[in-house]
Structure 1
Amino acid sequence: MDSLTQIVLGGAIGNAVAGKKLKNRAVLYGAIAGTIPDLDVVVGWMTDPLTALEIHRGVSHSILFAIFASFLLGFVVYKIEKKNGLTYEEGYWLFFWGLFTHSILDVFTSWGTRVLWPFDYMFAFKSIFVIDPLYTLPFIYFLIRSMREKNNLRKRMRFNNLGLIVSSSYLALTLLLKALAFYKFTDALDRVNVSYSALSVKPTAMNVVLWNGIVETKDSFLIGEYSFFDTSEIKFQTFPKNHEYQEHLENHVLLKRLIKVSEGQYTFTEDNDKIFFNDLRFGLLKNDEEDIQFAFSYDFYVDDDGQLSVREVKKEKRDGVKLLRKLWKRMGGV
């Protein structure tokens, strides 16, 4: 999830563990814990975009990291706050749950996370977008109400618990909504007798009303959208795999890395004598008849050392704004 949401979740966890003793300082420590796993992006800034993608949500998001990092971080907080009655155990659990719930929340997103690192498997429920105001804003409200209760500890913890209950209930609701959307996609495919090997369903940007479906067939991927307000059948857009473009790159390490990052959901396209690798997982940024661009695309080029390299295709902010407006309108149904 986005940084603000993880800060709020971490703050609420810190408050739940040590709020009665440390009050708002517990929120601060929890917010720090909720931020730490995403510091792996700093490592990503020092390398190329592909390596940064491979690093993100890896070791720092694992349960092993939460277990062992909490020994040190919990001890530091214990030394600072023992005069206020905080025990070492409370310091440990404050950081453990702050770190681990960060990873659990990320599991619900389309990206997922390697909770069981070093096992190289990305757990992803794909039921919530990385930014979802309906999850975050009520959570912020209850946390702020809790933080304002500095003397009435019972009321303080009640507001904090309400924030955790409401946010967790919303996550459970996203799983139910995904199941309903998944059924709609499978029903639509059955109606047109499409033979497919895989179907991936996930929410579009910042909502759980409009859902995106990626369908893999033998030679192509079909991409469609479904809103709970739709009154017409789901329509699919076809994107040929064009995997013949990879014949000369079959054993190249770059291609293997890209395929792994894309979880096998990719196509090739050619434009102006350039070959592009398109990661389909996050849908289309532009979808006009004469201008189609996926949210994540990479083009191959030969670097100054004569080595084959890839670079991410640049994204324009105005395209993102245009996409959000289009999605907002599409949520209303067709």
Structure 2
Amino acid sequence: MDSITHLFYGGAIAAAIAPKGHRRAALLAGAALNTLPDLDVIPLALFGDPVAQMTCHRGLTHSWLVLPFVAWAIWALFKRRGGRVAAEPVRWWWAIFACLMAHPFIDSFTVYGTQLFWPLPMRPIMWSSLFIIDPLFTLPWLAACVVAWFARERLAAKALAVGVALGFAYLGWSLLAKTLVEREASRALLAMGLPDAPRFSVPTPLNTLLWRVVAMTPDGYVEGFRSIVADSAPMRFHAYRSDVAALDEARGVPAVARLLWFNHHFAKAEVRDGVLSLSDLRMGNEPDYFFRFDVAQRTGAGWQALRPRQESPPRDFATAWDATWQRIWREPASPPRTAVDDPGALPASRATE
């Protein structure tokens, strides 16, 4: 999630657990503790390798196998120094532990991917039911922290309880919405002859009402959108090509292998002027993706690794949000045109349904 959400999310959790007289200190401590795992971006910035920066973020500092030891070290340090932690060591242990563990937990609900069990050789976890910035998820945590800071004890305790409950209720709603969308997507993909295609679903920016679904095909992928509040017709998909032959040939390039591991093979491959470019299909939508890397150069002997270069992501967020807002409330009147001329991109089906 975004840094602002982590501040209030952590503050509310810590204040809900800490002793009554330590409420304000817990709000500040929780905000700091829940921000701590994301400080891995500082050393990663020194790598100079955008692929390493992307795929190592949410690794060691987000691991449930590492963070309990970090929590113990912080707790032991402050307990030894005396003060609030020494006065109420049990409550503060659970506050510190919960804040640190809660950070990667909520990050796992985004599509980016979180290595919850680093260093085990597991792909990043991406439950993808929340967009990385969602104001309606942030709001209850923020409100709880504001009330808890200014209100008297009884009202502060109630505000924290309600804020935490509403925050996790919204998380539950996001999972329900995802289930509804995936049910419709499964029906449409079955009709298209793609019942077992690898796929993912993810909410569009700043909401959980409009969802995007991508399924991989032998020649590329299909992309569709579903509004929970507006759509009633069967879900429709738009087909796109990916240079799967070039991608298969370049799998031995370290940056290619690393990206495919990280993005669960949800990647678009393009060759331009002999350079292989990979786009992460999970973040953005056709044709604009936030993570696009030049990773290999075609040579006579095949593909040679390049020092990875990240292309600039799209910047017109206002236009994108306006289109998203309109699509949330309005179902398209007619199916979109296919993005490929050859219907063979979809086995036993047309490009759109």
Task: Give the TM-score normalised by the residue count of structure 2.
Answer: 0.85
- Taking every aligned residue pair, what percent have the same amino acid on both sides? 26
Q: In structure 2, which of residues 140, 143, 153 is the aligned counterpart of residue 141 of structure 1?
A: 143
Residue number in structure 1 paired with 2:308: 310
Residue number in structure 2 paired with 1:45: 45
Residue number in structure 2 paired with 1:296: 291
Change (3 A) 1:209 1:64: same
Q: Contact 2:290/2:314 (CA < 8 Å) preserved in 1?
A: no
Residue number in structure 2 paired with 1:126: 128
Structure with more contact order per residue of length (Cα contacts < 8 Å, sep ≥ 6): 2
Q: How does 1:180-329 map to 2 (within 5 A)?
A: 180-228=180-228, 229-246=230-247, 248-284=249-285, 287=286, 292-300=287-295, 308-318=306-316, 320-329=317-326
In the TM superposition, residue 183 of structure 1 has moved relative to its aligned partner by 0.5
Q: Contact 2:131/2:204 (CA < 8 Å) preserved in 1?
A: yes
Partners of 1:213 and 1:307 in 2: CA distance: 31
In the TM superposition, residue 193 of structure 1 has moved relative to its aligned partner by 3.6
In the TM superposition, residue 84 of structure 1 has moved relative to its aligned partner by 8.1
Partners of 1:187 and 1:316 in 2: CA distance: 32
Partners of 1:275 and 1:14 in 2: CA distance: 47
Q: Contact 1:139/1:164 (CA < 8 Å) preserved in 2?
A: yes
Q: How does 1:64-75 map to 2 (within 5 A)?
A: 64-75=65-76
Change (3 A) 1:252 1:183: same
Partners of 2:277 and 2:116 in 1: CA distance: 31
User: Which AA in structure 1 matches 2:329?
Assistant: G
Change (3 A) 1:85 1:275: closer
Residue number in structure 1 paired with 2:345: none
Partners of 1:252 and 1:193 in 2: CA distance: 32
User: Does the residue aligned with 2:7 lie in a helix, a strand or coil?
Assistant: helix
User: Which AA in structure 1 matches 2:326?
Assistant: K
User: Does the residue aligned with 1:57 lie in a helix, a strand or coil?
Assistant: coil
Superposition RMSD on alpha carbons, in Å? 2.1
Q: How does 1:153-168 map to 2 (within 5 A)?
A: 153-168=153-168
Question: What per-residue deviation string (whole Å, max 9, x for no partner) do you get for residues 75-94 of structure 1?
Answer: 33334552686333333222
User: Which AA in structure 2 matches 1:329?
Assistant: Q
Partners of 2:211 and 2:3 in 1: CA distance: 23
In the TM superposition, residue 19 of structure 1 has moved relative to its aligned partner by 4.5
Q: How many residues align?
A: 322
Residue number in structure 1 paired with 2:348: none
Change (3 A) 1:25 1:180: same
Q: Contact 1:221/1:238 (CA < 8 Å) preserved in 2?
A: yes
Question: What per-residue deviation string (whole Å, max 9, x for no partner) do you get for residues 187-243 of structure 1?
Answer: 122333445422211111111000010112222211111111124432212122312
Q: Which moved more, 1:225-234 or 1:245-254?
A: 245-254
Q: Which moved more, 1:7-16 or 1:253-262?
A: 253-262
Higher helix share: 1
Q: Which moved more, 1:68-77 or 1:218-227?
A: 68-77
Q: Contact 2:243/2:271 (CA < 8 Å) preserved in 1?
A: no
Q: Contact 1:22/1:84 (CA < 8 Å) preserved in 2?
A: no
Partners of 2:145 and 2:100 in 1: CA distance: 18
Q: Contact 2:110/2:128 (CA < 8 Å) preserved in 1?
A: yes
User: Does the residue aligned with 1:212 lie in a helix, a strand or coil?
Assistant: strand
User: Does the residue aligned with 2:68 lie in a helix, a strand or coil?
Assistant: helix
Change (3 A) 1:247 1:34: closer
Partners of 1:198 and 1:136 in 2: CA distance: 31
Residue number in structure 2 paired with 1:86: 87
Partners of 2:174 and 2:155 in 1: CA distance: 29
Change (3 A) 1:328 1:112: same
